[in-house]
Chains A and B, each alone.
Chain A
Amino acid sequence: MATVTFEHVSKRFGDTRVVVDLDLEVADGELLVLVGGSGSGKSTILRMLAGLETVTSGTIRIGGREVTALPPRERDVAMVFQDYALYPHMTVRENLSLGLRLKNVPRPEIEKRVAWAAGILGMEPLLERKPKQLSGGQRQRVAMGRAMVREPLVFLFDEPLSNLDAGLRAQMRIEIGALQRRLKTTTVYVTHDQVEAMTLGDRIVVLADGRIQQVGHPIELYRAPANRFVAGFIGTPPMNFLEGSLTSANDRVAFVAEGVRVELPPARVQESGAGPVTLGVRPEDIVLDLSASRTAAGDALSGLVVLVERLGGTSHVHFDVGRHRLLASLSGDSLPEVGASVVARVRGASVHLFGSDGRALLP
């Protein structure tokens, strides 16, 4: 049980700044997800915490103890790697117990812990096998077991599910979540997959270019993204963005762009000002009127359907409004045909507005 603290941590590789002035605290027992695209610095942060990468400046603490300059083995953390990193020439049992043997843990205690981990992960029948005799999901379990038997202060996961197929990934995601809640070990989890981040994280840290874009609970990030990057990153399918400007008349503020006009709720507009803004609308916040005879009136948008993706439960309708391509996510079976005219209505209360610097303008 331990908190993890990053204080002004930076990392450079030559002239490239990979992590810039990171301040972050992971609470005891929390599962914190670091999410971002490639080159966002998420894996570097994890490797610095593990001790596999040096820190250019700043301080890292685990459980209040400074570990910045300590080698990995003295940090009491355990890591699960993307490619599992099992020792190919050792059996599952040997893979699980090696770390403990190196720490001179007494043999009965090692056997007890291996049996415990194997029991939780359902690996008892596999203990005498070598990694290449295991499936991807089984290898992933062994990798988790190897971390568990160490009983570390902190678990580190480095994109542990990205080598698994979709079905297995969803299953392992549930298992990891359940395991973490059961063990209550502080966990830092790195992924580029926002679905994984949303479903697993107690809190999510969104990273881009080595900087924190936003930290918060998954729903908070979804409902109130701090900037355009977070808005576009969190949520599937991704948010629609429209470039335009704001006009106000009679105390009413509206967003206007070519062929688009969306009335904004007055209470939510804080800084209107002139200049270009970006409107963000989630696909599920667009309502499509499919009766073709209607024409756009008021703040409705008329569009032309260009693509319909039927996914079963929900479907994605891509349509063009002026020069903008928008995506609406619909449930139900009544869907427009490609080439049909549709009238789209945006729920004004749920839109997001971003300034030219990308910051969110609506609270």
Chain B
Amino acid sequence: MRALGRVALYVVLALAALTFIYPFLWMASTTFKSLSEIGTLSLIPDRPTLDNYRTMWARAPFGRALLNSALVATTITLSVLVSGSITAYAMARLNYRGRAVLNAVTMAVLLIPGQLTLIPLYTLIVQLGWVDTYAALIVPYLFNATAILMLRQFFLQIPQSLVDSARMDGMSELRILFTIFWPLAKPVLATVAIFTFMGSWNEVLWPLLVVREQQLMTLPQLLTVFALGGGAGTIGVSMASAMVLVVPVVLAYAFLQRYFIESMAGSGVKG
């Protein structure tokens, strides 16, 4: 009876897993299918072809968009890690007037939905003359309140005696942050990095607002314009462009997964 229950459980779990993975696998296989095969539900193409990718590459500057996205997402991620750590360190470990206010304000920023600041921010970018520049894509995202609070929370758990000890060893506060705190904070840094990178990589709305020139478009933006605008023509080409979008994120996740899981597990234990 117990064995039967177990089998039933695995069947249900396998079905659930399949529902998640099938559409993705279908998308991946569709990119290698010829036009005649695309309507089928099978996952293995009869005559695999790279035509969809060739068409996509020829019709729009996806290579350039890939570079744009990489530049924007990497710059933002690095900045969020560095600026977020410095701010979080100050909030967690330094004593100064107004620290409580700074904490409260940072927290308050989280409560404001992004859509609310979209129009004011857009107006600001126009006033600055930054429309159709990398600055418009990058500068508004250089600082991130969620990252600051996640890092602060982690930094608060590092024993004060370690900071004291480093100060007595003669370290400056920045040095303590980068030579003592950073190595200890790898899991949370990896988590922040993945969230930030994915958030930036997948962002569509903001680039659509501030960038019109095709050469400056990010990958999801170009994809949206391309696929929704009818440039793709066939589903196969649409799916091929979606693959180009998703593969770097999957790679980044695979690369940082070890720290990421560690951080998720750690946050459960430490509470």
Contact surface of A with B, Cβ cutoff 8 Å = 47, 50-52, 71-73, 77-79, 81-85, 87-89, 98-99, 102-103
Contact = CB atoms under 8 A, between A and B. Distances in A.
A310 to B, nearest CB: 40
Chain B residues touching A, majority SS: helix
Contacts of A84: 161
A77 B168 contact: yes
Interface in B201-219: none
A102 B167 contact: no
Contacts of A72: 164, 167-168, 170
Given A52-B168, A73-B171, A87-B166, 11 more contacts: A50-B164, A51-B168, A71-B167, A72-B168, A73-B170, A81-B161, A81-B164, A83-B161, A85-B162, A102-B170, A102-B171
Contacts, number: 50
A88 B157 CA distance: 14
A102 B179 CA distance: 12
A87 B162 contact: yes
Nearest to B166: A87
A145 B45 CA distance: 67
Contact of A83 (B159, B168, B180, B184): B159
Contacts of B166: 87
Interface residues of B, number: 14
A50 B166 CA distance: 12
Contacts of A73: 167-171
Contacts of A87: 162, 165-166, 180
Contacts of B170: 72-73, 99, 102-103
B183 interface: yes
A101 to B, nearest CB: 9
15 contacts: A52-B167, A72-B168, A73-B168, A73-B169, A73-B170, A77-B168, A78-B168, A79-B168, A85-B164, A87-B166, A88-B184, A89-B184, A99-B168, A102-B170, A103-B170
A83 B159 CA distance: 9
Contacts of A88: 184
Chain A to chain B: the 8 pairs with minimum beta-carbon distance, closest first: A73-B170, A85-B161, A85-B165, A99-B169, A89-B183, A81-B161, A102-B170, A72-B168
B43 to A, nearest CB: 45
Given A83-B159, A85-B159, A87-B180, A52 B169 contact: no
A188 B217 CA distance: 65
Contacts of A78: 168
Contacts of A83: 159, 161
Nearest to B167: A72
Contacts of A89: 183-184
A33 B184 CA distance: 34
A246 B164 CA distance: 53
A347 B171 CA distance: 58
A50 B171 contact: no
A73 B171 CA distance: 8
A98 B162 CA distance: 13
Residue among A51, A85, A89 with most chain B CB within 10 A? A85
A151 B164 CA distance: 18
Contacts of B168: 50-52, 72-73, 77-79, 99
A230 B180 CA distance: 42
Interface string B170-199: 110000000010011000000000000000
Given A102-B171, A103-B170, A79 B164 contact: yes
Contacts of B169: 73, 98-99, 102
Contacts of B180: 87
Contacts of A85: 159, 161-162, 164-165
A9 to B, nearest CB: 19
B179 to A, nearest CB: 8
B182 to A, nearest CB: 9
A65 to B, nearest CB: 17
A350 to B, nearest CB: 43
A77 B169 CA distance: 9
Nearest to B175: A102
A174 B180 CA distance: 32
